[in-house]
């Protein structure tokens, strides 16, 4: 999670998550790197044996060399490990403009009961999900700034509260940001809040009628923590039908 800051390194509106029970659906993706698995990106549990992540996180990867881990806010203490059996990268994922940056990961066994899934947005929630100014939360083990090249992730899960931003209030070229993406960022007391490298694939969630709903997947950004360039997220609602078809969920629950 980034807070790229000109003035100081303090995080406003974001902080460490100290109990994973708050976000029991938060998951991570790991790849075999030499003889060890290493952390690659975020993911989120959506039910049965299925997780969502970003397509750019799974491209060119062999499922056999991939794990999903979850169950703690400490990256080195994730107790639940599952092997990936299949990856469904969105068929229209485009590596050059990152359109349709979403993938479904199927694992070998369901996580235990305590890891209940996040809700998927379904069509009737459309008016609650993506309104400019709405508060959302992003979760991740990603970096805190674009410097510190070698440090790839944090030891502890972080959360940061962002707001949905209007495209015309940013400097992104409007042809690049499609209907299936949205922007989120925040600025308080001289500090820009954003996601950053390593947060990709992780969830952007919103509390709707008492339930956490995964409205976005961390996808990309122009650098990190630049006020005119907020983070770009995959709009999960746009992929509702595709996700439900693959996972076999009914139209408005995750079962
Ligand atoms: N693509 C990055 C990753 O692979 C995530 C970037 C998100 N950037 C941002 N400024 N919100 O981890």
Lowest-confidence range among 98-102, 112-116, 121-125? 121-125
Q: Place 131 in a pLDDT band, splitting at 50, 70 and 90.
A: very high
* Whole-number average pLDDT of the chain: 89
Query: Per-residue pLDDT averaged across 65-77, rounded?
Result: 95
Q: Regarding predicted confidence, which is higher, 221 or 60?
A: 221
Q: Tell me the CA–centroid distance for residue 142 and ligand 1, in Å.
A: 8
Q: Tell me the CA–centroid distance for residue 195 and ligand 1, in Å.
A: 6
- Written out in words, the top-level CATH class of the domain with range 24-117+240-247 is mainly beta
CATH number of 2-16+119-237: 2.40.10.10
Residue 69 in this model has a pLDDT that exceeds 50: yes
Task: Verify whether ligand 1 is closer than 6 Å to residue 54 (CB atom).
Answer: no
Catalytic residue among 41, 72, 101, 219: 101
200 catalytic per annotation: yes
Residue 145 in this model has a pLDDT that exceeds 90: no
Per DSSP, the residues of the chain read: -EEEESS----SSEEE---GGGSTTEEEEEEEETTEEEEEEEEEEEETTEEEE-HHHHTT--GGGEEEEES-SBGGG--EEEEEEEEEE-TT-BTTTTBT--EEEEESSPPPTTSPPPBPP-GGGHHHH--TT-EEEEEE---SSS--TT----SB-EEEEEEEE-GGGS-S-TTTS-TTEEEEEEEETTEEEE--TT-TT-EEEEEETTEEEEEEEEEE-SSSSBTTB-EEEEEGGGGHHHHHHHHT--TTS--
pTM recorded for the entire structure: 0.92
Residue 194 in this model has a pLDDT that exceeds 50: yes
Q: What is the pLDDT of residue 57?
A: 95
Q: Tell me the CA–centroid distance for residue 154 and ligand 1, in Å.
A: 14
Q: How far is CA 132 from CA 94, 144, 220, in A?
A: 26, 25, 19
**Residues 55-64: pLDDT tens digits?**
999 987 788 8
Task: Verify whether ligand 1 is closer than 6 Å to residue 13 (CB atom).
Answer: no
Query: Per-residue pLDDT averaged across 151-159, rounded?
Result: 82
- Which residues of the chain form CATH 2.40.10.10? 2-16+119-237, 24-117+240-247
Tokens describing residue 173: 């070229």
């Amino acid at each position: 999670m980034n807070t790229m800051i000109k003035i100081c390194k303090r995080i406003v509106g974001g902080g460490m998550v100290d109990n994973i029970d708050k976000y029991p659906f938060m998951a991570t993706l790991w790849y075999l790197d030499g003889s060890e698995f290493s952390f690659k990106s975020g993911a989120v549990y959506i039910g049965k044996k299925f997780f969502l992540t970003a397509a750019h996180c799974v491209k060119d990867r062999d499922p056999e060399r991939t794990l999903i881990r979850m169950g703690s806010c400490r990256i080195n203490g994730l107790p639940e490990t599952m092997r990936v059996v299949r990856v469904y990268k969105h068929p229209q994922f485009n590596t050059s403009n990152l359109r349709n940056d979403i993938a479904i990961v199927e694992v070998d066994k369901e996580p235990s009961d305590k890891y209940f899934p996040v809700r998927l947005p379904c069509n009737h929630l459309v008016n609650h999900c993506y309104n400019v100014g709405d508060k959302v939360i992003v979760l991740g083990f990603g970096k805190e700034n674009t410097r510190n090249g070698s440090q790839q992730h944090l030891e502890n899960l972080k959360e940061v509260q962002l707001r949905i931003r209007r495209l015309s209030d940013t400097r992104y070229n409007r042809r690049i940001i499609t209907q299936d993406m949205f922007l989120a960022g925040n600025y308080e007391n001289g500090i820009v809040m954003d996601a950053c490298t390593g947060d990709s694939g992780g969830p952007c969630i919103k509390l709707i009628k008492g339930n956490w709903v995964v409205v976005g997947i961390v996808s990309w950004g122009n650098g990190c923590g630049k006020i005119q360039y907020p983070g770009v997220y995959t709009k999960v609602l746009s992929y509702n039908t595709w996700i439900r078809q693959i996972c076999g969920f009914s139209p408005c629950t995750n079962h």
